[in-house]
A and B are shown apart, each in its own frame.
Chain A
Amino acid sequence: MDISSDESDDWFMESLNTYKDLHVFQLEHPTKVIEWTGDKNICVAGYTGARSEILELLLPLKLYAGENQGLCAERDFKVQHGGFSEEPIESLIHIPGTRCVVTSGSFSTTLQIWDIGGDDSDVIKKTGVINLKSTSAKGSKIAPGLTDEPAVLHGSCISEVQLTEIATGRVLYTVAKESSDSVSGLQFVNACVFLICASDGSLLMGDTRDPSTCHYPLEDSKSDLHWAFGLRTDGSQSEPSCCTVARLSSSGHMLLSDLRNVQRPFCQTQLNVQHNTSENDFLNVCWAPVLDRCLSVSGFDGTVHIYNTMNWSTEGQSPQPVFSHRGHEMSDEAKYSGSLPVVTIHSWHQSRPKTVLSAATDGSLHVWDWVDKITDR
């Protein structure tokens, strides 16, 4: 009569108290992108095969049923649109206000432009390409422009970063800096101001109205570390003065900077995580859209850690996460495969304060709403 009482069962039993909602899904192919295309929709895409699927999924309706949640049995994702890409997909971004997404693949010479589709068809169709100057193993990093005319900011190394208009292919802006440093991430702060984070952790801030960019190298840069960044803004038309950027290294070193004073991070700390020595770029740091000063971190292993930076100071003590999601390590697949999965990407729900989506190398996709032991109950 016993269900085997192993660690995974324990975790599920514990989850009754530690999570408000928990949904565990298994995609056919793992994804390293989760991109919101609507209030209730996300796009995921394969990166492990030569041919990949791009899927637009509708989140389980149970999450939106509010008070009637009990009467809603809909716990599944619905595949609303799907398409095929001839290359593994490293990055995928949605152009706000449109049904257009742009993808970039490993070693690809172009960025692919797609129409996700409407009600009349469930097929995601390719509508065009943007030619790239060079290829790179991790593919070009991409970010949506925040102007009215759809554009994409892209580049795999700093000197090649440019802003291209999607409809015409016209280059609207090029970064004038001569630098072969590879780009780890880029993002617009508002319609004109953008931020580039290089793999070595240095930041570049630019303005599309001004050809020059400001470069902020790290004080103490170690060559074997790889950095990722997460930008916290209060809307799409933010002023740099209200923005905070978090930088995370593959050894768990975290820097928080105000965009008014990028050179001097207002907080530095060392997270208690395993140093990620692999070549993968699953390193991910995100700010929570609703919860004040909360950020989340993943890519070191099969866990997503959530921290409240409110109490962090400039002293270097190792902060404890307010919550850690270990679900990806507890799956049946993990048990049988021998190697533990690594979280490839995670993303916060736009409006539900504590709902997070996370995906891992074993194809798992989780949607979870965690309980803060201190503030909840």
Chain B
Amino acid sequence: MPEIRVTPLGAGQDVGRSCILVSIGGKNIMLDCGMHMGYNDDRRFPDFSYITQNGRLTEFLDCVIISHFHLDHCGALPYMSEMVGYDGPIYMTHPTKAICPILLEDFRKITVDKKGETNFFTSQMIKDCMKKVVPLNLHQTVQVDEELEIKAYYAGHVLGAAMVQIKVGSESVVYTGDYNMTPDRHLGAAWIDKCRPDLLISESTYATTIRDSKRCRERDFLKKVHETVERGGKVLIPVFALGRAQELCILLETFWERMNLKAPIYFSTGLTEKANHYYKLFITWTNQKIRKTFVQRNMFEFKHIKAFDRSYADNPGPMVVFATPGMLHAGQSLLIFKKWAGNEKNMVIMPGYCVQGTVGHKILNGQKKLEMEGRATLDVKLQVEYMSFSAHADAKGIMQLIRMAEPRNMLLVHGEAKKMEFLKDKIEQEFSISCYMPANGETTSIVTNPSVPVDISLNLLKREMALGGPLPDAKRPRTMHGTLIMKDDSLRLVSPEQALKELGLSEHQLRFTCRVLLHDPHSDTDTLGRIYTHLKSVLKSYSIQHVSDGTVIVESIVIKVTSSAEEPNLKVILLSWSYQIADSTDTKKKKKKSSFDL
């Protein structure tokens, strides 16, 4: 049976890393190649031994597809391609291609330089890996090879995030990566057409949540900033250049305007340049509002927000500063943090996940004393706030996506089966489709029912219509006979004669004979005549001819009568017929029977 096989790589119940293998139509695809951020050893890499025990992966994979730049989806890519070995194509959208190497390099620096790890990819490996990347545009079908094609759809979530449709012949799979169904200030909502894939694969990490509104998260953010500034404190917001930074700036700008606040807001110049550059490149990836704004003016030209100079950090009084990098692991944001950490009036707002080993990670775990270079300790007295702005689809979102794409089957990864039975029931009941939830390392096989398109020759079609009535009715399938010719990439159904002609073969006819002995004193001719008359009376619906050359023909069965040489009264009735379909077998049987009656 044709089937699609899906295996999420990983062990047990661990979530936090995406790497899914899909086999479809004889093709093998790797979806995402994420790093598990919770482990310090080799468990953080996906276990590629599932694909092959040793050796390179190139011959086992037709392509690798990366959905977006978050490290839990692309963090292990250089390891996979350069240390394990893979030379085939790696597909991702343009923004992902631009941003991935930056994040990977940052991540590498933290892991190797700060934590002193050795089994890790190098800067050169990141570069070599990215050389294998083939960028994707939205809604554009890309032929990976003659049979495999892929198409990217907008996923929302972060800049450049895509959902991907993978198609081989008439079988298809859609992988969602991370997505969200509600638009926010800088990104739109995920969208896909009614592509009716055989299988829709989605993360289920947030499937059993009901998300608090974006507005309330923003409200909290503004409240914290406002409270700090009101008491004369300073707010540090470490951000990655793209995504949230811009959104939060817009939010603060509007708030400052409305509340007539005077405290200065700064962002570091490194942030501006990079962000502007990327937004210019990827303007089509943002939502309508941002696009309109950007067209009107440089999006970082705010009334209340100014470029930062490092000397400002020492200025007295309240202020808000956006600085990179986002996890406080180096650079300007760390410098500012060191200056402000000792004052409890100040605040640092972490707008996202921080990798282990970074200062960001430590303070989010409640650490109050940090060890800095040169054995100096830093007392963390300022207020630490963790705010999550990332947009994910919840249970409602998953239902909406299924409604949009209309898959025949659903597969949820990264959930605990016993905690998702309700969602499985819900999906199965509402959409009458099967919902699978494999554990990591477990393979799910989904049987597909692909239709195979075949061209039928006009002659054959006409012949069929003559036999059985009007053109084929999809509701009433009919069996028909013909010869299937599979040549190059085409499948054709033609009549046997035409097939023989095309193949240059001569037609052979098989004739069967049978002798029936009969005692009859009449002459040969008379006996034949009596047989003829008899058959005519019992086989009324068949065509029976008495031919002048001394044969009786019933349909295609020929009957001759001769006398035995030894005994003139012993007549030999020779029956001969060609190989035909079952209909005539009945005729033959009837004839045999009636001959006994004689």
Which A residues have a C-beta under 8 Å from some C-beta of B? 1-3, 5, 12-13, 15-16, 22-28, 53, 57, 60, 68, 70-73, 75-84, 120-124, 365
Name the residue of chain A whose CB is nearest to the CB of B394: A76
Q: B464 near A: Cβ within 8 Å?
A: no
- Residues of chain B contacted by A2 (CB below 8 angstroms): 254
With A24-B215, A123-B425 given, is the CB distance from A79 to B386 under 8 Å?
no
* Contact A75 B216, beta carbon cutoff 8 Å: yes
* Contact B209 A13, beta carbon cutoff 8 Å: no
* Contact A79 B215, beta carbon cutoff 8 Å: no
* Contact B254 A12, beta carbon cutoff 8 Å: no
- Residues of chain B contacted by A3 (CB below 8 angstroms): 250, 254
- Residues of chain B contacted by A22 (CB below 8 angstroms): 216, 219
CA of A23 to CA of B259, assembled, Å: 22
* Contact A16 B254, beta carbon cutoff 8 Å: no
- Residues of chain B contacted by A16 (CB below 8 angstroms): 219, 222-223, 226
| Residue from A13, A24, A365 in contact with B255 in the complex, judged by beta carbons closer than 8 Å | A13
With A12-B219, A82-B423, A121-B421 given, is the CB distance from A24 to B213 under 8 Å?
yes
- Residues of chain A contacted by B394 (CB below 8 angstroms): 76
| Residue from B217, B383, B419, B429 in contact with A75 in the complex, judged by beta carbons closer than 8 Å | B217
Q: Is the interface of A mostly helix, strand, loop or mixed?
A: mixed
* Contact A25 B208, beta carbon cutoff 8 Å: no
* Contact A78 B208, beta carbon cutoff 8 Å: yes
With A15-B219, A53-B426, A76-B394 given, is the CB distance from A25 to B212 under 8 Å?
yes
Could you pull out 6 A-B pairs where Cβ atoms are within 8 angstroms? A3-B254, A12-B215, A15-B219, A71-B385, A123-B421, A123-B425
- Residues of chain A contacted by B384 (CB below 8 angstroms): 70-71
CA of A71 to CA of B360, assembled, Å: 11
Name the residue of chain B whose CB is nearest to the CB of A29: B396
- Residues of chain A contacted by B541 (CB below 8 angstroms): none
CA of A83 to CA of B423, assembled, Å: 9
* Contact A76 B396, beta carbon cutoff 8 Å: no
* Contact A72 B254, beta carbon cutoff 8 Å: no
CA of A75 to CA of B217, assembled, Å: 8
Q: B487 near A: Cβ within 8 Å?
A: no
* Contact B253 A1, beta carbon cutoff 8 Å: yes
| Residue from A26, A71, A72, A84 in contact with B213 in the complex, judged by beta carbons closer than 8 Å | A26
With A28-B399, A71-B366, A73-B387 given, is the CB distance from A122 to B216 under 8 Å?
no
Name the residue of chain B whose CB is nearest to the CB of A81: B422
* Contact A25 B210, beta carbon cutoff 8 Å: yes
Q: Which residues of chain B from 212 to 267 have a CB within 8 Å of any chain A CB?
A: 212-213, 215-217, 219-220, 222-223, 226, 250, 253-255, 258-259
Q: B418 near A: Cβ within 8 Å?
A: yes
* Contact B422 A123, beta carbon cutoff 8 Å: yes
Contact indicator per residue, chain B 99-125, by CB within 8 Å of chain A (1) or not (0): 000000000000000000000000000
Name the residue of chain A whose CB is nearest to the CB of B348: A70
- Residues of chain A contacted by B355 (CB below 8 angstroms): none
CA of A23 to CA of B219, assembled, Å: 10
With A13-B255, A76-B394, A81-B422 given, is the CB distance from A57 to B387 under 8 Å?
no
- Residues of chain B contacted by A26 (CB below 8 angstroms): 210, 213, 396
With A1-B293, A24-B216, A79-B210 given, is the CB distance from A71 to B426 under 8 Å?
no
Min Cβ gap A193→B in Å is 38
Q: B395 near A: Cβ within 8 Å?
A: yes
- Residues of chain A contacted by B396 (CB below 8 angstroms): 26, 28
* Contact B209 A78, beta carbon cutoff 8 Å: yes
Min Cβ gap B555→A in Å is 62
Min Cβ gap A151→B in Å is 28
Q: B343 near A: Cβ within 8 Å?
A: no
CA of A76 to CA of B215, assembled, Å: 13
Query: 8 closest pairs, A vs B, by CB?
Result: A82-B422, A75-B212, A77-B210, A24-B213, A73-B388, A76-B209, A70-B385, A73-B386
- Residues of chain A contacted by B422 (CB below 8 angstroms): 79, 81-83, 122-124
Q: Which residues of chain B from 133 to 188 have a CB within 8 Å of any chain A CB?
A: none
CA of A53 to CA of B388, assembled, Å: 29
Name the residue of chain A whose CB is nearest to the CB of B347: A70
With A12-B219, A27-B210 given, is the CB distance from A72 to B421 under 8 Å?
no
Q: Which residues of chain B from 297 to 350 have a CB within 8 Å of any chain A CB?
A: 302
Q: B192 near A: Cβ within 8 Å?
A: no
Q: B462 near A: Cβ within 8 Å?
A: no
Q: B211 near A: Cβ within 8 Å?
A: yes
Residue of B209, B365, B366 most packed against chain A (CB within 10 A)? B209
